[in-house]
Amino acid sequence: MTLQLSEVHKFRGSEVNFAYLVPSGGIVALDGISSAILNCLERTPLSRESLIEELVAEGHQQQEIEESIDELQDVRAIQMGERVYEPSQALPDDFPLQSIVLNVTNQCNLSCQYCYEFGEDKIATPEGKKKFMDLDTAQASVDYLFAESQGRPSVHLTFFGGETLMNFPLMKQVVTYARQRAAELGRSIEFSLTTNATLLSSTIIEFLAEHGIGVTVSMDGPKEMQDKFRIFANGKGSYDIMKPKVEELIAKHRQRPVGARVTLTSGAMDVKRIYQHLKHELGFHEVAFAPVTTSPDRLYSIGEPGMDSVLAQFCDLADEYLEFALRGEHHGFSNVSDTLAELHQGVNKSLPCGAGLGMVGIGPSGDIAPCHRFVDSDEHVLGNITTGIDQEKRADFLGRGNIDTKYDCHTCWARPLCAGGCHHEAFVRYGDTGHANLHYCDWIRSWTNKCLEIYGTIAEKNPMFLQHFAERKAA
C-alpha cells in the first residue's frame, strides 16, 4: 500500500511553508523534511520504503524522515491508501437556538434597485401579511428565543427590516421586555440592528448608546456610489440625508463599535476608495463588503472581470491589514478579520452558516424563516412562533445545505470555510438553497489562500495578535 497526500493545501507565510489540513481545518508549519515529504507525494504516491529511500538520496537523515512521516500521518496530512471524502460531523438533534433576527417591518423608506427583499430578484411574498410587527408578536418571539436556547447563558437578538427604524417604538419596547425576561431567567441578552441610517435622530442615537445596541449601517461609499442605487422612491439619492446622521451616530455611540456593510455592485466597485471614505473619512470602526446577490443579467450585477478587480483590491487591502497586524494595530477590513478568526478557530463547516440551526429569522406575522433573507417567503417558511418549527421542513432545509450533499465541493480544499456558500445566494442563482455557489468557487479559493498567507505571516512575526481571535470566540 502506498502513502499519498491527504487533502492538504500548501501555502507560504513570511517565507515559511504551511499546510492547511482540509479534514480538520487545522494549520501546521512545515519544516524542511516535512515539506520534502509532501513535495514527493504530490508528484506521485510512494510506498513508505520508497519515500524514505528517495529522501535519503536527497540528503535527509532516515530517522528524521521516519519521525516526520509519522507526524504527518498523525495530523492526517498524508495517508495510506486512496483518499476518500470524509463526511462532516453529524449535527445534534437538539441544537439550541443562539440568536434571532427580528424583522420588525417589511417596509422601507428607500427603493434600492438591487434589494434582495424588494428588487427584481426578490423571493418574499408579503402580500396580505402584516407590514409591521406588533408587540404581542415581538414578545412571543423573545419568549421563543429564550425557550429554544436552553443551556446558553447568553443569547442575541438582531433588529432588522425593511428599514428597522420605521418601527423604532416597538424596538424600544422589545429591549425593555427582553432585558426583563433575561433577568428573571438569570440569563443575558445582547442586541444589534442594521439600518440605512436615514431615519436616525439624536433621540434614537441616545437610546442605542444607552442600551449598548450594536449598529451596522448599510452604506455603499462616497456620494457618487451611494446614490447610484441606494435611492428614495422619487429617485433622489440618500447620501446627503444619511451622512450627518452617521457622523452623529459614530461621535455619540461609543459603547460598541459601529460598522458599515457595503453591497458591491456595478456602480460601486472601487473597494479601496469606499474603504477609505467609510473608515477614515466617516470614522466607521469596521467595513465589510459583499457582492450583490442577483441573477447575472441585472444592470447592477458584477461580471467576471468586475469580480477579478474586486479580488485584486481585496488583496491590496489585505496587505494593508497585514502591515497593521504586524504592528499590533487594528485595521477595519472585516472580510480579513472574519476569515482569520475562522482559520484560527479551526472552523470546519458542515453548513455555510447558522441559518435554520442556531439562528432563525422571524417576520412581522411571526412566521419563522431560516434567516432574515427568507422572511416572508412562503416557499421557505419553517413554522410560526405560536406553533414552533416544523422539524421535517427544517431537516429538509439543513439536509439540502449540508456540505455532504454538495458533491461539487467534495474535492475543494476551501470547503471547511465555505461549505458551498450562502443558501439565499444559491436559491436566487440556481433555484435551490442546497446548490453550491459554483460561480464563486475560484474567487473563494483565491481569497482564502490570501488570508492563509496573511495568517501564516502573522503567526510567524506577531503571534500575539492572533490571541484576540481566540478571545472573540470565547465572547
Which pLDDT belongs to residue 345? Answer: 94
Say which amino acid occupies 18: F
**HEC letters along the chain:** CCEEECCEEEEEECCEEEEEECCCCEEEEECHHHHHHHHHHHHCCECHHHHHHHHHHCCCCHHHHHHHHHHHHHCCCEEECCCCCCCCCCCCCCCCCCEEEEECECCCCCCCCCCCCCCCCCCCCCCCCCCECCHHHHHHHHHHHHHCCCCCCEEEEEEECCCHHHHHHHHHHHHHHHHHHHHHHCCEEEEEEEECCCCCCHHHHHHHHHCCCEEEEECCCCHHHHHHHCECCCCCECHHHHHHHHHHHHHHCCCCCEEEEEEEECCECCHHHHHHHHHHHHCCCEEEEEECCCCCCCCCCCCHHHHHHHHHHHHHHHHHHHHHHHCCCCCCEHHHHHHHHHHHCCCCCCCCCCECCCEEEECCCCEEECCHHHCCCHHHCCEECCCEECHHHHHHHHHHHCHHHCHHHCCCCCHHHHCCCCHHHHHHHHCCCCCCCHHHHHHHHHHHHHHHHHHHHHHHHCHHHHHHHHHHHHC
CA distances from 362 to 110, 111, 158, 348, 368 (A): 22, 22, 10, 27, 5
Reported confidence tier of residue 83, pLDDT bands at 50, 70, 90: confident
C-beta of residue 414 within 8 angstroms of C-beta of residue 403: no
Q: How far apart are CA 172 and CA 165, in angstroms?
A: 10
Which pLDDT belongs to residue 474? Answer: 45
Cell of 119: 428588487
Query: CA 157: distance to chain centroid?
Result: 17
Return the exposure string of 376-412: e unless at least 16 CB atoms fall within 10 Å of the residue's CB, then b.
bbeebbbbbbeeebeeebbeebbebbbbeebeebbeb
Domain definitions of the chain by residue range: 3-80, 96-475
Mean pLDDT is lowest, of 267-271, 322-326, 379-383, for 267-271
Tell me what the mean pLDDT of segment 278-291 comes to.
97
Question: Tens digits of per-residue pLDDT, 36-78?
Answer: 999 999 999 999 999 999 999 999 999 999 999 999 999 999 9
pLDDT tops 80 at residue 379: yes
**Among candidate residues 474, 450, 454, the one with its CA nearest the CA of residue 462:** 454
pLDDT tops 80 at residue 120: no
Which pLDDT belongs to residue 458? Answer: 98
Q: What is the pTM of this model?
A: 0.95
Question: Tens digits of per-residue pLDDT, 144-155?
Answer: 999 999 999 999
Q: How far apart are CA 132 and CA 211, in angstroms?
A: 23
Which pLDDT belongs to residue 267? Answer: 86
Percent of the chain whose pLDDT exceeds 70: 98
Which pLDDT belongs to residue 153? Answer: 97
pLDDT tops 60 at residue 380: yes
Name the residue with higher pLDDT: 302 or 170. Answer: 170
C-beta of residue 434 within 8 angstroms of C-beta of residue 426: yes
How high is the mean pLDDT of the chain?
95
Question: Tens digits of per-residue pLDDT, 404-448?
Answer: 999 999 999 999 999 999 999 999 999 999 999 999 999 999 999
**Among candidate residues 116, 331, 318, 300, the one with its CA nearest the CA of residue 225:** 300
Tell me what the mean pLDDT of segment 94-109 comes to.
96
Tell me what the mean pLDDT of segment 268-289 comes to.
97
- With a CB cutoff of 8 Å and minimum separation 6, the contacts of 23 are 6, 7, 76, 86, 348
Domain 96-475 has CATH 3.20.20.70: yes
Which pLDDT belongs to residue 188? Answer: 98
Reported confidence tier of residue 460, pLDDT bands at 50, 70, 90: very high
